Structure 1
Amino acid sequence: MMYLHRYLRLTPVLAMAILIYMKILPISGDGPLYGSVTFDNYTICEQTWYWSLLYVQNYATDTICLGHSWYLAVDMQLYIISPLLLIALYKWGKKGAAAISVLMLLLAAGLFITMVIGKHSIFSHTSDAMPTIYFSTHTRASPYLVGILFGYFLHANRGVAVKLNRTVVSLGWLISLALLFTCIFSLYGYHNNNKALPIVNEAFNLTLTRIAWPLGLCWVVFACMHGYGGLANSFLSSPLWQPLSKLSYSAYIFHMFIESLNGGITRTNTFFSDYQVMLRFWGDFGLTLLLAFFVYILIEAPFGNLENLLLSTHRTKKKQPDLDAQQKTVGAIEAPATDSTPAPALVTISPLPEVRTKEKPTNN
Structure 2
Amino acid sequence: MVMKTLMFIPLMAYNCYGLIYKLNDSDYARMPQLYHLDDYDHCLINPDGIYCTADIDIVSNEPSNELLTMMRNYSDYKRKHFNYTQLHYGICMTQTCKRFMGDNKTEDLKFILEGCLNHSLWDNYQLKCRISEPINCNRFILSFSIPHNYTTLMSSYKNFDSREDRFKSFHGLRTITIICVILFHSFLPVAVGPKNPRFIEMQYENIFHLIFINGTILVQTFFVMSGCLLAYKLEVYAEKHEMRWTLIPKVITGFWIKLTPTYIVVLGLTATWLRYAGSGPFWEIAVTKEVQHCRTNGWANLLYVNNYLDSTLCMIHTWYLGANMQMYVIGSIVCILARSNRSKKILLILLFILGIGTPAAHTYFQDLDAIYIITPEIVRAFKNDVTFNEVYRRGHTNIVNFVLGLTLGIFIYRLQVNQVDMKYRFLFLLTIPAVFGLLFIGSVFYKDEFQASAITKAIYAGLIKPIFGVICALIIIGCVFKIDNVYRIIFEWDGWKIPSKLSYSVFLLHFMIIRVMTGRYTTLTPMNNLYMIEKSLNYVIMSYIAAIALFLLVEAPLTEFLKNCLEFTIFNTKIKSIQPEQNNGIYLNKNADTFIDEK
TM-score with structure 1 length normalisation?
0.77
Are residues 40 and 192 of structure 1, via their aligned partners in 2, closer, same or farther at CA, if it must alter by over 3 Å?
A: farther
Q: Aligned match of 1:186 in 441, 449, 453?
A: 441
What is the CA-CA distance between 1:159 and the residue it aligns to?
3.4
The question of whether the paired residues in 2 share the 8 Å contact of 1:108 and 1:142 is answered with yes
1:263 CA displacement: 1.6
**Residue aligning to 1:236:** 491
Q: Which of 382, 407, 415 pairs up with 1:157?
A: 415
Alignment of 1:217 with 2:472, yes or no, is yes
Structure 2 spans left out of the alignment, 5+ residues: 1-249, 379-383, 570-599
The aligned residue for residue 170 of structure 1 is 426
Instruction: Write the distance in 2 (CA, Å) between the matches of 1:133 and 1:94.
Output: 31
- What is the alpha-carbon distance in structure 1 between the residues aligned to residue 297 and residue 332 of structure 2? 29
Partner of 2:308: 59
**Corresponding position: 1:112 with 2:360:** yes
Residue 34 of structure 1 is aligned with which of 256, 266, 283?
Answer: 283
Partner of 2:462: 207
Deviation for aligned residue 1:116:
1.1
Cα deviation code 1:202-246 (max 9, x no counterpart) = 433332121011111111111122222213112211221111121
SS in 1 for 2:364: helix
> Aligned partners of 1:133, 1:243: CA distance in 2, in Å?
33
Letter in 2 for 1:142: V
CA distance in 2, matches of 1:261, 1:61: 23
State the partner residue of 1:132: 390
Q: 1:306 to 1:257 in 2, by over 3 A?
A: same
Identify the residue that residue 258 of structure 1 maps to in structure 2. 513
1:112–1:204 contact (8 Å) kept in structure 2: yes
Alignment of 1:1-364 (within 5 A): 1-37=250-286, 40-60=289-309, 62-87=311-336, 91-94=339-342, 96-121=344-369, 122-123=372-373, 127-164=385-422, 168-174=424-430, 176-191=431-446, 198-312=453-567
- The 3 A distance-change label for structure 1 pair 82 and 297 is same
- Specify which structure has the higher proportion of helix: 1
Change (3 A) 1:251 1:210: same
Partner residue in 2 for 1:346? none
Which amino acid is the alignment partner of residue 145 of structure 1? V
CA deviation string 1:303-359 (max 9, x = no partner) = 1221232134x87xxxxxxxxxxxxxxxxxxxxxxxxxxxxxxxxxxxxxxxxxxxx
Q: SS in structure 2 opposite 1:36?
A: helix
RMSD: 2.5
- What secondary structure, in the 3-state scheme, does the structure 2 residue paired with 1:272 have? coil
Q: 1:200 to 1:179 in 2, by over 3 A?
A: farther
Quick one: distance in 1 between partners of 2:507 and 2:288? 15
Q: CA offset at residue 102 of structure 1?
A: 3.3
SS of alignment partner, residue 425 of structure 2? helix
Contact 1:57 1:64 in 2 (8 A): no
- 1:362 is matched with none
CA distance in 1, matches of 2:353, 2:536: 37
Pick closer, same or farther for the CA change 1:195–1:28 going to 2, 3 Å.
Answer: farther
Aligned residue in 2 for 1:361 = none
Stretch of structure 1 that moved more, 265-274 or 7-16: 265-274
* Count of residue pairs brought into register by the alignment: 310
Provide structure 1 residue ranges, at least 5 long, that are not aligned to the other structure: 316-364
Asked if structure 2 preserves the Cα contact closer than 8 Å seen for 1:9 and 1:304, the reply is yes
Q: How high is the sequence identity, in percent, across the aligned residues? A: 19
Name the CA shift for 1:282/1:193 in 2 (closer, same or farther; >3 Å). Answer: farther
For residues 38 and 115 of structure 1, do their structure 2 counterparts lie closer, same or farther at Cα, with a shift above 3 Å needed?
farther
Q: Which has the higher strand share?
A: 2
Distance change (3 Å), C-alpha of 1:229 and 1:50:
same
On the 8 A contact 2:429/2:484 being kept in 1, the answer is: no
Contact 1:107 1:142 (8 Å CA) reproduced: yes
1:309 and 1:191 mapped to 2: Cα distance?
51
Residues 35 and 79 of structure 1: CA distance in aligned 2, closer, same or farther (over 3 Å): same
CA contact (8 A) 2:275 2:288 kept: no
Contact 2:287 2:516 in 1 (8 A): no
TM-score (norm 2): 0.48
SS of 1:158's equivalent in the other structure is helix
| Distance in 2 separating the partners of 1:106 and 1:93 | 20
Deviations 1:161-192 (A, max 9, x none): 44455xx2113432x23432233222324436
Amino acid at match of 1:66: M
Match of 1:337 in 2: none
Letter in 1 for 2:462: T
